Amino acid sequence: MKSALRLGLLSVVRLFVGAHADWQGCVPQLRQRIYFADHTSHFDTLVIVAALPAELRAETHPVAALDYWGASALRRFIAVECLNAVLIDRSEGTRGADGTVGRFRSGLYNLRNAFHRPSWSRSTSTIPGA
């Protein structure tokens, strides 16, 4: 049942936004990789997972914000059961209860540079309704 829900959810995302991977300089293969987006929307996680080929989705575990994806039973179900996400408590760049933005640390930027991997993402904020 969970796999049917996962397939249905990701199919809707692919249909809605046309999510697909554009493999430049590499091919999709089962090996250790890090996929990341600029995260102007939590919808980015769904789009990235939906764009991956099925064999990679089965082995991919997004790291997702506990404060958002754990906020309700439905979000937690989608994150953990449909996306295979690992929920983490975060602080960098997040908005506090008073609206202030927390200290930003460039962890993913430094990781990308350390492994000399080009990266590109388009914000899902450009997608109507996202």
Taking residue 96's Cβ as centre, other Cβ atoms within 10 Å add up to 9
Taking residue 80's Cβ as centre, other Cβ atoms within 10 Å add up to 16
The confidence score (pLDDT) of residue 39 equals 61
The confidence score (pLDDT) of residue 104 equals 61
Contacts 24+ apart (CB under 8 A), 4-10: 5/81, 5/82, 6/81, 6/82, 6/83, 9/46, 9/78, 9/82, 10/46, 10/49, 10/50, 10/57, 10/82
Length of the chain: 130
Q: Where are the alpha helices (DSSP H) in 1-116?
A: 2-17, 43-51, 54-57, 66-69, 73-77, 107-114
The residue extents of the domains of the chain are: 2-20+30-119
Q: Greater confidence, 105 or 26?
A: 26
- Contact predicate 74/52, CB 8 Å: no
Q: Convert the pLDDT of each residue in 12-38 to its tens digit.
A: 988 888 888 888 888 888 888 877 766
Report the Cα–Cα distance between both ends of the chain, in Å, rounded: 26
The confidence score (pLDDT) of residue 128 equals 45
The confidence score (pLDDT) of residue 105 equals 59
Q: Report angle CA 14, 74, 90 to the nearest 5 degrees.
A: 90
The confidence score (pLDDT) of residue 75 equals 92
Q: Convert the pLDDT of each residue in 44-96 to its tens digit.
A: 888 888 889 888 888 888 888 888 899 999 999 999 988 888 888 876 555 66
